Chain A
Amino acid sequence: MIISLVLGVSFQAVRSDKIPWVRSWTTLSVTTQSLQRVAEISLSEAFALYRDNRALFLDARDPWSFEEGHIAGAVLIEPQTAGRQVSEIRKRAGGRQIVTYCDGTECHLGVDLAKALEKQGISSVKVLINGWSRWREAGYPIEKGKP
């Protein structure tokens, strides 16, 4: 126990990408923390890309939520299966911007999916935080149906 305490404290003192010992974990800070390595896209920018067909939207929620409604043209990709669908995603994106989203400010799935894709070497990924609710409330195109 003491050895691990000493190692932990020492490594924390010298590492460059350290996290603070204590921080406030509000909903906002959770989103900000998880976003530190993933780019966010604004709703207006996402819609501009959508309108010009310059983005592929990936829905990171569960299949049932997707079936009830999703951004028109979006593809359902769950973060845990993203690694196995990389070639399909690349093919569908065809060089376009990839935008991931889920629903709610506390939802990490969009960020998780973006991170999973970046890990597989796909760099053009941005996250639309609370994407489904904001997109629907803005009156942008949506559709229902199975994946």
Chain B
Amino acid sequence: MKTKIMAFYSSPVLSLAFRVILGALFLYAGIAKIVDPMGFALSIHNYKLLPESLINVAAILLPWLEVVVGGSLLLGIGTAGGALIATALFSIFAGALTINLIRGLDIACGCFSTTASGGSISGFYLLRDFSLLLMSLQILFFDRTLFSVTRLRKK
């Protein structure tokens, strides 16, 4: 049973599916934040984790990192690097969510949108983040660059 689960988790086809899912999610999240940097800066401020001087810097640069990671995963260019950064981002987001859930702060997630319409942070958001983290780890360790620009260039 354990071997079957591992065989499924390490499947290159699953990597491709995860690349498409995470790539699209990162692109969507990044673009939504680029469109509204002020709203995203407010979301970061509400987490009360970064020093004041870094809030706007993060609000300006982080969305572009998400867009580049999204593009990398979707197109299959530098996939390992993209997956590594995605894993780091999901780990940071999980840490930030956990700290503020423990603090009991009623704040908007700011994950895929910059408005409060996304809802306040909750255990669900943490669970979702861990699911995405598992996807990025799968890509990092098992991706075989199916349907990727990297593979096309090798041919």
Interface residues of B in 29-88 (CB under 8 A from A): 34, 37-38, 41-42, 45-46, 52-53, 55-57, 59-61, 63-65, 67-69, 85
Does A25 contact B55, Cβ atoms closer than 8 Å?
Answer: yes
Which of A4, A9, A25, A108 is in CB contact (< 8 Å) with B52?
A: A25
| A131 close to chain B: CB less than 8 A | no
Given that A4-B61, A23-B56 are known contacts, is A83 also in contact with B42, CB under 8 Å in the complex?
no
Binary flags per residue of A111-141, CB closer than 8 Å to B gives 1, else 0 = 0100110010000000000000000000000
Cα distance A51–B46 in the bound complex, in angstroms:
36
Could you tell me how many residues of chain A have their Cβ less than 8 Å away from some Cβ of chain B?
32
Interface size on B, residues (CB 8 A): 29
| B119 interfacial contact with A, CB 8 Å | yes
Interchain CB contact under 8 A, A21 and B60: yes
In the bound complex, CA of A112 to CA of B114 (Å): 10
B45: which of A9, A25, A112 is its contact (CB, 8 Å)?
A: A25
| CB-CB nearest in chain A for B54 | A22
Q: Does A91 contact B (CB under 8 A)?
A: no
A22–B64 touching, CB < 8 Å: no
Chain B interface mostly: helix
At the interface, yes or no: B3 with Cβ under 8 Å from chain A? Answer: no
Q: Which of A4, A20, A24 contacts B65 (CB 8 A)?
A: A4
Give which listed residue, B38, B53, B57, contacts A36 with CB less than 8 A: B38
A119 to B36, CA, bound (A): 13
- In the complex, are the beta carbons of A34 and B42 less than 8 A apart? yes
Closest to B65 in A: A4
Which A1-39 residues sit within 8 Å CB-CB of chain B?
A: 1, 3-5, 7-9, 11-12, 17-25, 30, 33-34, 36
B117 contacts across to A, CB distance below 8 A:
79-80, 82-83, 112, 116
Min distance, Cβ A101 to any Cβ of chain B, angstroms? 15
Q: Given the complex of chains A and B, what is the CA–CA distance between A108 and B120 in angstroms?
A: 12
With contacts A7-B64, A12-B60 taken as known, whether A22 is within 8 angstroms of B53 at the C-beta atoms is: yes
Contact A4 B68 (CB under 8 A): yes
With the chains together, A119 CA to B85 CA distance in Å? 33
Interchain CB contact under 8 A, B45 and A30: yes
* Complex CA–CA separation, A24 to B55 (angstroms): 10
Determine the residue in chain A with the shortest Cβ distance to B57: A21
**Interchain CA distance A79-B45 in the complex, whole Å:** 19
Q: Which of B55, B69, B116: most chain A Cβ within 10 A?
A: B116
5 closest A-B pairs (Cβ-Cβ)? A112-B116, A8-B64, A4-B65, A4-B64, A8-B61
Q: List 18 A-B contacts (CB under 8 A).
A: A1-B65, A4-B68, A4-B69, A7-B64, A7-B67, A8-B63, A12-B60, A19-B38, A19-B56, A19-B60, A22-B53, A23-B56, A25-B52, A30-B42, A33-B38, A80-B119, A108-B116, A112-B117
